[in-house]
Structure 1
Amino acid sequence: MAEEFRYDIELLLEAQHGDVAAFTTLYRRHARAVLRYAWAGLGDRSQAEDVLQETFTVMWRKRRQAAIVDESLLPWLLVVCRNHVRNQLRRRRRQTAHELDDQSATHHQNALHSDAEELVAMRVELGRLSDLDRRLCELCLGEGYTYREAAALLDTTETAVGKRLQRARARLRSALSGDEPTNTREGTA
């Protein structure tokens, strides 16, 4: 009797006794349906092919526990396949979560590094300002003094404070944006 016309139960019984030809017939009979099922669940043919192989590997290892439902081994194979699909999807989610964590950590480290570089550059540029301009930046920008308060403290006019801060900010912005540095240690009002 030709293998393709035999019932699954007969082939399974022979496979349970180590008959590789019977197992091969079961594989040929059901592999396409198992592959379609896995592919539909995963959306990736390569991963579905892996799941197909895993399903039939389990079938061979557990051939003594395999169950025939309505004269077919296919329902049992699809349950095994479904379990492998679920495992694959869990692995995918974990991998995606790890990749997102890694990307987030890398982004955070890059941002911290960038912030530290900007802080160092800011300190260098502040050091290039005249003593009066640097002190005005410290008072007005760093400590929150008003122009009037800074002018009174440094014995200058409110207008001079505004103009000096405007020039200092422009020099800092220019230097931090990578443009050529402007005149340094400027002492005029």
Structure 2
Amino acid sequence: MKSAHQIQGVTLIELLVAIVVLSIGIIVAGPGFSTIGGSSKLESQSREIQNALVFARTEAIRLNQNVLFCHSSDGLVCSAPPSSGWSGWLIRAAGASIGAEIGPVLRAQQFSDSSVTISSGSALAGAQHAMRFNSQGLIRVFGNNTPLSDSIRICIAQSALKPNLYEVRFNSGGRLRQVTQNTNGSCL
């Protein structure tokens, strides 16, 4: 005679089938998770740079003086980046020359993620990787007051990530915008 309270359970075969199905799902979805992480890194880094540029412009207007946004290896003075790309940035009141900034550091950041490459556009590189915001909030080349319009590129060399390049573009009037592109895995 069967009792009304028979114990129901999962057989070993049912458990193994469930584990195999779950494993296949993880294997198929795994590459997708890495692209989500890479995209998040790019967007986060480009937003930080864009916010820093807005801050530098605002401080130049507020302080009624020239403020620099530039590459910085040490977070204290402006410097040329290594060939591998920017290692950090700095916002500080402009001095007599690049590397001779004055006053306290208003804001700085050093990059810790080596998978992200950050580089200057050609005009910014020609301007010693530094842009000067004047007291009207306009972007100029440091030494000669020439209007400066270009971009800062944030890239992950990963062909599966689309897009793998974010650009923070700026014009001499101080307007900023973010543009995304796919470079087919190359950051150069």
Question: With structure 1 as the length reference, what TM-score do the two structures score?
Answer: 0.31
Higher-Rg member (1/2)? 1
Q: Flag the structure with more relative contact order, 1 or 2, with Cα contacts below 8 A and sequence separation at least 6.
A: 2
Question: With structure 2 as the length reference, what TM-score do the two structures score?
Answer: 0.31
